[in-house]
């Protein structure tokens, strides 16, 4: 079976990491996976793992852009030249492109819905494919109740992470060396990873850290990511008088090194389908504080494997951080519970198996093998 993953981009972040992880897992299960996109900063990682990339001039946020028509023609050419069996769309625009390419070529397609959508072009065209993969219960409910997708066409497949890659235990000496390599000195570290965008809520973490630092003077925060909010967040840290305790790092495929030095992982998003970065932090055994929103409630059980706060509740975030910093045993217990949950419900292997079964279903392979 040959699968063509289609995305607007392959940048670092939820969608890019999802496609990379899925492609690697498919390859390990003898399913050929090609990725067509307008490129991105994860290209080197795809190539390093032997995953073929193809250029598609699809870099637009508009579903009615002239680039969409051009991309449909390009995609049809790729489908015919590569003898593709199934298309897999990952972004709003790629859903539209796959809709028309599927109609022209007869090759079926599925979509993964990584978050929440507005109807827009979907009022006219049904762009969900033969099956729509929802990455969380919240996204499944959204597709069914807000967008009117028939429940029979929705398959809940939780996003998965490579648990083994994030479960390595580091010695104190190794952690100290990593801290040194990142220019960090003593003191507990609260961290977050994600695109620097208003929806990710990093400003809430910075505002909460003012109270944290007043209680735990040597506490620090690291923010890993790139995006349009970088300058605003740096200015905010300065205006709050905590810039010396805040460290910004660019996005990197190797998130493990950042997670390894964190004592607490914070995920203060305003909206979230599920959160790959949160799953990775949990797989790393970190105590996590996250917003009680979207798919996050599927994975964080408040008080057991993490702490949930209302979106933008600065006092609740700061109190949760201080509470955990003062109780190392509780941090460790929550981290262990978090890792156990990810192993049981959010493994990359399980995600890949479920998606392969979906591919077989829509291409008829499951019947042919019976």
**276-283 and 328-345 are packed helices; what angle lies between their axes, rounded to 10 degrees?**
120
pLDDT for 123:
64
Rounded Cα distance, 81 and 125, in Å: 27
Pull the structure tokens for residue 33.
């996976």
CB 144 within 8 A of CB 151: yes
CB 165 within 8 A of CB 357: no
pLDDT for 105:
97
**In the beta sheet, which residues pair with residue 171?**
none
DSSP summary character for residue 227? S
Nearest to residue 56, comparing CAs of 15, 12, 101, 9? 9
DSSP string, 296-334: HHHH--BTTTBEEE-TT-HHHHHHHHHHHHT-HHHHHHH
Q: Name all contacts of 96-100 with Cβ < 8 Å and 24+ positions apart.
A: 96/63, 96/68, 96/121, 96/125, 96/127, 97/6, 97/56, 97/58, 97/68, 97/71, 97/72, 98/6, 98/127, 98/129, 99/125, 99/126, 99/127, 99/129, 100/72
- Average pLDDT by consecutive 10-residue portion of the chain (370 residues)? 95 90 93 95 93 94 88 96 96 94 96 85 79 93 92 94 81 81 88 94 97 95 94 97 95 84 96 90 96 89 96 97 96 96 92 96 70
Spell out the domain ranges in the chain.
2-160+347-368, 163-345
Same fold, 2-160+347-368 and 163-345: yes
Q: Residue written as tokens 């620097």?
A: 196
CATH 3.40.50.2000 corresponds to the domain 2-160+347-368 = yes
Q: Hey, which CATH number is domain 163-345, 3.40.630.30, 3.40.50.2000, 3.40.50.1980, 2.130.10.10? A: 3.40.50.2000
Pull the structure tokens for residue 329.
């045993």
């Amino acid at each position: 079976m040959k699968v063509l993953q289609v995305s607007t981009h392959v940048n670092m972040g939820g969608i890019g990491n999802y496609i990379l992880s899925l492609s690697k897992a498919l390859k390990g299960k003898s399913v050929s996976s090609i990725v067509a996109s307008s490129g991105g900063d994860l290209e080197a990682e795809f190539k390093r793992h032997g995953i073929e990339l193809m250029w598609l001039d699809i870099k637009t946020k508009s579903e009615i852009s002239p680039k969409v028509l051009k991309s449909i023609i390009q995609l049809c050419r790729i489908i015919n030249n590569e003898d593709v069996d199934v298309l897999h769309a990952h972004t709003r625009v790629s859903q539209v492109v796959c809709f028309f390419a599927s109609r022209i070529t007869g090759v079926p397609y599925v979509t993964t819905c990584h978050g929440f959508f507005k109807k827009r072009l979907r009022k006219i065209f049904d762009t969900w494919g033969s099956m729509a993969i929802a990455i969380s219960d919240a996204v499944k409910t959204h597709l069914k109740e807000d967008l009117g997708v028939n429940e029979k066409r929705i398959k809940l497949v939780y996003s998965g992470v490579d648990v083994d890659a994030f479960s390595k235990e580091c010695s104190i000496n190794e952690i100290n060396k990593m801290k040194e390599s990142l220019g960090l000195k003593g003191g507990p570290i609260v961290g977050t990873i994600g695109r620097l965008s208003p929806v990710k809520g990093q400003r809430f973490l910075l505002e909460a850290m003012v109270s944290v630092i007043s209680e735990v003077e040597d506490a620090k925060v690291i923010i890993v990511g790139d995006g349009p909010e970088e300058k605003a967040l740096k200015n905010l840290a300065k205006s709050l008088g905590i810039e010396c305790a805040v460290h910004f790092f660019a996005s990197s495929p190797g998130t493990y090194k950042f997670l390894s030095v964190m004592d607490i992982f914070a995920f203060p998003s305003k909206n979230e389908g599920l959160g790959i970065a949160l799953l990775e932090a949990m797989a790393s055994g970190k105590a996590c504080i996250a917003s009680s929103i979207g798919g996050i409630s599927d994975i964080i059980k408040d008080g057991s494997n993490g702490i949930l706060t209302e979106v933008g509740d600065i006092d609740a975030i700061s109190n949760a951080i201080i509470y955990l910093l003062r109780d190392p045993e509780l941090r460790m217990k929550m981290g262990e519970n978090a890792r156990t949950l990810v192993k049981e419900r959010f493994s990359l292997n399980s995600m890949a198996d479920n998606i392969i079964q979906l591919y077989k279903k829509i291409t008829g392979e499951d019947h042919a093998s019976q």
